[in-house]
Structure 1
Amino acid sequence: MSNHKDLQKLSAAGLLISLGIIYGDIGTSPLYVFKAIIGTEHSSLSQQISQTLVLGGVSLIFWTLTLQTTLKYVVITLRADNKGEGGIFSLFSLVRRKAKWLIIPAVVGGCALLADGIITPPITISSAIEGLTVYYPNLPTVQIVIAIIAGLFIIQQFGTSLVGKAFGPIMFLWFTMMGVLGIGYIIQMPWILKAINPYYAYQLLTSNYNAFIILGAVFLCTTGAEALYSDLGHCGRDNIRISWIYVKVCLILNYMGQAVWLLQREGKVVDLAMNNPFYKIMPEWFLIFGIGIATVAAIIASQALISGSFTLIAEAVRLNLWPKVKINYPSEQKGQLYVPSVNWLLCAGCIGVVLLFQHSARMEAAYGLSITVAMLMTTILVSKFLQRKKAPTYIIASFLVVYLLIEGTFLLGNLVKFVHGGWFTLTIGLVLFLVMWTWHTARKIKNRYVKFIEVDDYFNIIKEMSEDESVPKYASQLVYLTSANFNSEIESKIIYSILQKQPKRADVYWLVHVDVVDEPYKREYEVDFLVPGKLIRIDFKLGFRVEQQINLLFRKVVEELVKNGEVDITSRYKSLNKHKIVGDFRFVVIEKVLSRSHNLSFYEKFIMFIYTQLKKVSLSEERNFGLDLSFVTVEKVPLMLTSPDSVELHRV
């Protein structure tokens, strides 16, 4: 824990690590942005190189990076840290008390980010490998890209902290290389610096009938901004802000260098499939090294995105927005996790993208649409955060107006991409949205039918049954997981299970309740002795980033209670008691099954149908809570019962 906090402070190590983790996506965009601006494989878009196009392109890139990445994310959004953690779900946890509908932008944004994770590795790795076609025109790039992607996903299960240590220095080398290459060309045409003037951006957008298509291409230079906020917890705000200055300078220098190379070919139509300006500004002798560094940088960019997807899903599971899935912790490093199901889904998706689009130029057409949606959702949530922080109304209003306008324009520019492949990421995003929305809504429907009763009405009868030797003993210590938020309540199903389903006599009954709180790493518990020595309730308050190992946590609490002499767990069987042998523990998990659904509307029936299918592939409650399966009894109870007075019968 300490080393994690140290990395959040401003330090050379923190700066280096943030270079390695955060800027992969945004840092590899020079590989394809200018190529996308000047024209793509669609012949209607291949444009003659003109001064207006190139200077306007650089100007648009500069102002997009300044307004979108620097101002919105680095300056404003990084303030919205949830006890040091960032990302769309951390932001949602900060503001969800404000309004119920905020769940919608949070879920839409989360799905858009995951969908984007399927297209980022293919486009960055393809762009890097395609540089080799200069040497080997017939190189099977598709096969090489698939092999790299497959390898990348296979190593995830071993944890990436080992590789992670090398990421920082390699990315430092990458950014420095880009800056130096850019300067080499800027010296040849220093007046390129005037492109910083926003007039050139305005001139390009007003004079070119392809303005929206160009905007869609320019947007690719800021696609990694969301990842920058998501990784706040790994590096800390100060490290991100300081390292971004260096990264931005190197990026701008490289874009300007590419612009000079293009201006030297003014008036010509350049075949960009063969001539990527990114590689063209490298000296001949350096090209092979440049491609090597670019490939490693592309792999690092993909790695950062994959890790981000794992964190996103783990948070969604804890916030009850995603089916319970297996989450592994391959290394001791905080925040290092591996979600096998998501890993292989992403792997299949990435390979699918490579096979479907084949070339990076075609992927550019599909890229950026879903990420614009994610950015719009972040804008909505950040405005709510500013409201919570009591920022002046005019600041919140101008923030909303400016960014809804900028991102709305980019969205329109990116909508052109729908037909060229944008449909692919949007379809994936929709499927993910359906899963999250179903899981969230089904839980609300189920909770509607859970009946809570006053627990103190049953104190006496539970106490009497515990001492009634005519009832066979079920377990020494009997533990139930309860969803009742208040100590005074209990589900009627639990009382039914103890007293009626098969009367369960025990020496001590335990009720365990888990509450997921808005602080990421909170770990607290409360104990309430409802009937001293007979009925005890434990409430766990766990952050949305904490692993819910109830088995472990419960044992720890019981050990502390025994140590303090607050509870006695020695077996009550005479032969075992005299030897001070600990009694047995048994967990009972009550699973609510939807048997009759005629009270539900068509929409609710549809939601419950999908929910039932998802439940089949998700982890069971007992596995999700990390319970030892040899001590668990699962009892199925119907969620809804038809009341007998609605049935008419005639006796003859």
Structure 2
Amino acid sequence: MTPSSVAAEPAPPSPERTNHKGRGGTWALALGAIGVVFGDIGTSPLYALQTVFSINHNTVDPTPQDVYGVISLVFWSITLVVTVKYVLFILRADNDGEGGVLSLAHLTRQHLRRGSKRYTLVMMLGVIGASLFYGDSLITPAISVLSAVEGLKVANPALGDLVLPIGMTIVVALFVLQRFGTAAVGRFFGPIMITWFVVLAALGIPHILAEPAVIGALSPHHAVLFAVDRPFVAFVAMGAVVLVITGAEALYADMGHFGRAPIRRAWFLLVFPCLTLNYLGQGQLILADPEMSTSPFFHLAPESMRIPLVVLATLATVIASQAVISGAFSVSRQAERLGYLPRLTVRYTSDHGGQIYVPVVNWLLFGGVLLLMVTFRESERLATAYGLAVTATLLLTTALFAVYADTALKWSPARVGAFVLVFGSIEAVFFAANLTKITHGGWLPLTIAAIIGTVMLTWWRGRALVTARRSKLEGPLRPLLNTIASKGVTTVPGTAVFLHGNPATAPLALRDNVSFNHVAHEQILIVTTLSRNVPHVGPEDRVMIGARRHKGVAITHLTLNFGFQDSQDVPSALALAHERGVNVDPDTAFYFLSRITLHRSDRPGMSQWRKRIFVALAHNAASPTEYFHLPIDRTVLMGTQVRF
């Protein structure tokens, strides 16, 4: 345990971050958004309709009524959930430029009374949402890559046995290359995905022109007739139709990278129209030849173009996978800074703070994705496991935004109720339809979310218990200053920096140095790092300075504020403090850390099995020296035991 484990109080957003994305130009950012934000939802045509018409042994038939009903459901699901809910409403929930369910939860908590029932509930919803996101991060690379490579079977059935080995090879390369970062490759993502969306439209248009009547499927009355005439079939179909909106959360989660306006512009001008044209084309193809319902996407292309289409689809799915993996890195860092995960080793792969690599998350995802591919082997089987994570996240976002709209946006109760009624009812149907698939793989994302949620809540609770026990061991600072002022303690030259999480108590490392070594440094700084509930804290707000003098002993207190997207570089922050008049040279100061050894006890507060998990997490936390960017040759670790 180190100062980073102390709970952070929320701070107001930093003004310099609000409009920082405008410098690159809206159109350039829109290009970047196409390359990153829309990868997941843009590759859904590969497997969505195929899954709809293959569920339950073709319960959904390739008849005009069913095809028109399904296409209508697809179009209006994208229109209502993605366009109206996310693009027009959810993107308004701007946590200092950042988005995502965990960020939304903490943004909402700023407007609630601490300790209230809604305050606790919002925290729980945020943790559950983040946990479900990890399930999505496992399934997306597996299903996307497999669905793309499976196009080889359409081009040449003899190549079917190569699908899994090729898919696994692509996944291995994808995760191995993560440590190099996406900065160098990122500029190529936009043009590739623009090509992908143009190809989606080009594949659909000829089939629409062959039978223009299929455009009528966009009318909502076809979805209504389908649901009224065949309610059970329509209900089951909804469990697969939800696949067309997978990736909707990325619109919000990646808002901090590109901004609200570029995402909206890219969606309305390119992505939404191209998706619509492709789904219409697939619908017409299924009507013209029902046998094509087993793989309608690749059959849209002429036979001579299917291999190039497989190559392009594979590139698109790699980009989609890259986006969700990068999202998992960002969510992990947010969770760690907000107190739900232990310290993580984070490597910055470019000058832009959003380009990060988290080794432990990367390799855990890598192992999970390979396991899924080997277990399920086909994208169609994986699709049955996909919907629950997506629909549960949709419902959580709706609930959190409703609280945010009530408390922060000051919506009227009627307006909040209408929002929940419209979108909550749609998403509740999606969720209920996917519950029918629990025994066929739907258990997977729920299990993943349950495990990760338990880990996050265990760390949050255990951290509170250990912090309370540690505070008792540390004791108040004044008696220690009396000891330092006594003749039995020798003052030595130099500056000692003690990283300490609680300014009201004495650092254990300082207490041990005085008690056992009987020395104290001439210049003593007690430094507390706080993770604020904003993505970034500007240099002008980084350092808060305080001082205390008792019996001739001077202590300087520094509080260093970091956003959950900032690197907690203590020496750099001390350089800022030096510029503001603090007598400290980061290049010569010695840094002292209290290294805690945890022991389980019979004390109440948490069950023994959760205490075991907490101890294991603490033992595997990132090195505090590396985490705080401290110089190894001038950092001293002093050990203490804590029973909790």
TM-score normalised by the chain length of structure 1: 0.88
Moved more, 489-498 or 129-138: 489-498
Aligned mates of 2:493, 2:451 — CA distance in 1: 45
2:497 is aligned to: 479
Aligned mates of 2:184, 2:583 — CA distance in 1: 45
Structure 2 residue 310 is the aligned partner of structure 1 residue 291: yes
CA 558–74 in structure 1, closer or farther in 2 if over 3 Å, else same: closer
Deviation at 1:124, TM superposition (A): 1.2
For 2:414, the aligned partner's letter is: Y
The 5-angstrom pairing of residues 92-241 of structure 1 reads 92-97=105-110, 98=112, 99-139=119-159, 140-208=162-230, 209-241=232-264
- Measured against aligned partners, the alpha-carbon deviations of 1:317-338 in whole angstroms (never above 9, x if no partner) come to 1112112121101122331000
**Runs (5+) with no aligned partner, structure 1:** 570-581, 642-652
- Measured against aligned partners, the alpha-carbon deviations of 1:547-576 in whole angstroms (never above 9, x if no partner) come to 11223322x145425xx4x5377xxxxxxx
Which one of 52, 55, 60 corresponds to residue 65 of structure 2? 52
For 1:541, the aligned partner's letter is: N
1:575 is aligned to: none
Which one of 255, 277, 292 corresponds to residue 253 of structure 1? 277
- Measured against aligned partners, the alpha-carbon deviations of 1:173-223 in whole angstroms (never above 9, x if no partner) come to 111111122111111111212212222112222333333321010000001
For 2:525, the aligned partner's letter is: W
Which one of 579, 587, 591 corresponds to residue 595 of structure 2? 591
1:321 is aligned to: 340
Aligned mates of 1:231, 1:502 — CA distance in 2: 51
Structure 2 residue 435 is the aligned partner of structure 1 residue 406: no
Aligned mates of 1:616, 1:458 — CA distance in 2: 30
CA 444–378 in structure 1, closer or farther in 2 if over 3 Å, else same: same
Structure 2 residue 328 is the aligned partner of structure 1 residue 309: yes
CA contact (8 A) 1:58 1:196 kept: yes
Aligned mates of 2:172, 2:165 — CA distance in 1: 11
1:507 is aligned to: 522
For 1:476, the aligned partner's letter is: G
Deviation at 1:538, TM superposition (A): 0.6
Secondary structure of 1:138 counterpart: helix
Deviation at 1:227, TM superposition (A): 1.0
CA 629–291 in structure 1, closer or farther in 2 if over 3 Å, else same: same
Secondary structure of 2:560 counterpart: strand
Which one of 279, 293, 301 corresponds to residue 282 of structure 1? 301
2:583 is aligned to: 567
1:574 is aligned to: none
1:73 is aligned to: 86
Structure 2 residue 453 is the aligned partner of structure 1 residue 428: no
CA contact (8 A) 1:479 1:588 kept: yes
Aligned mates of 1:3, 1:509 — CA distance in 2: 37
- Measured against aligned partners, the alpha-carbon deviations of 1:20-50 in whole angstroms (never above 9, x if no partner) come to 011000000011111111114x53x454311
Q: Which structure is larger by alpha-carbon Rg, 1 or 2?
A: 1
Deviation at 1:295, TM superposition (A): 1.3
Deviation at 1:136, TM superposition (A): 2.5
CA RMSD of aligned residues (A): 2.5
1:364 is aligned to: 383
CA contact (8 A) 2:495 2:584 kept: no
Deviation at 1:479, TM superposition (A): 1.9
Deviation at 1:630, TM superposition (A): 2.8
CA 145–4 in structure 1, closer or farther in 2 if over 3 Å, else same: farther
Aligned mates of 1:410, 1:250 — CA distance in 2: 24
Deviation at 1:497, TM superposition (A): 2.8
Report % sequence identity: 32
Deviation at 1:15, TM superposition (A): 1.5
1:578 is aligned to: none
Which one of 545, 552, 556 corresponds to residue 527 of structure 1? 545
Aligned mates of 2:595, 2:75 — CA distance in 1: 56
Deviation at 1:454, TM superposition (A): 5.0
Deviation at 1:161, TM superposition (A): 1.4
Which one of 80, 84, 97 corresponds to residue 84 of structure 1? 97
TM-score normalised by the chain length of structure 2: 0.89
Aligned mates of 2:25, 2:68 — CA distance in 1: 36
1:613 is aligned to: 616
The 5-angstrom pairing of residues 629-640 of structure 1 reads 629-640=632-643
- Measured against aligned partners, the alpha-carbon deviations of 1:91-116 in whole angstroms (never above 9, x if no partner) come to 12212232133111111101111111
CA contact (8 A) 2:91 2:260 kept: yes
Moved more, 93-102 or 246-255: 93-102
Deviation at 1:495, TM superposition (A): 6.4
| Bigger RCO of structures 1 and 2 (CA < 8 A, at least 6 apart) | 2
- Measured against aligned partners, the alpha-carbon deviations of 1:215-264 in whole angstroms (never above 9, x if no partner) come to 01000000110011111011110011111112111101110011111111
Which one of 382, 389, 393 corresponds to residue 413 of structure 2? 393
Aligned mates of 1:137, 1:5 — CA distance in 2: 51
Aligned mates of 2:320, 2:616 — CA distance in 1: 34
2:570 is aligned to: 550
CA contact (8 A) 2:525 2:557 kept: yes
- Measured against aligned partners, the alpha-carbon deviations of 1:523-562 in whole angstroms (never above 9, x if no partner) come to 41011121288311111111111011223322x145425x
Deviation at 1:583, TM superposition (A): 10
1:445 is aligned to: 465
**Runs (5+) with no aligned partner, structure 2:** 1-15, 113-118
Deviation at 1:348, TM superposition (A): 1.0
Aligned mates of 2:492, 2:65 — CA distance in 1: 82
Which one of 32, 36, 49 corresponds to residue 51 of structure 2? 36
- Measured against aligned partners, the alpha-carbon deviations of 1:453-509 in whole angstroms (never above 9, x if no partner) come to 5545654543x24xx4x645566222222222xx5x224746643543443321011
1:645 is aligned to: none
For 1:379, the aligned partner's letter is: T
CA contact (8 A) 2:106 2:123 kept: no
Deviation at 1:628, TM superposition (A): 2.3
Aligned mates of 2:597, 2:145 — CA distance in 1: 46
Secondary structure of 2:99 counterpart: coil
Secondary structure of 2:591 counterpart: strand
CA 504–583 in structure 1, closer or farther in 2 if over 3 Å, else same: farther
- Measured against aligned partners, the alpha-carbon deviations of 1:110-157 in whole angstroms (never above 9, x if no partner) come to 111111111111111111111111232132100000001111111111
For 2:468, the aligned partner's letter is: R
For 2:89, the aligned partner's letter is: I
For 1:14, the aligned partner's letter is: L
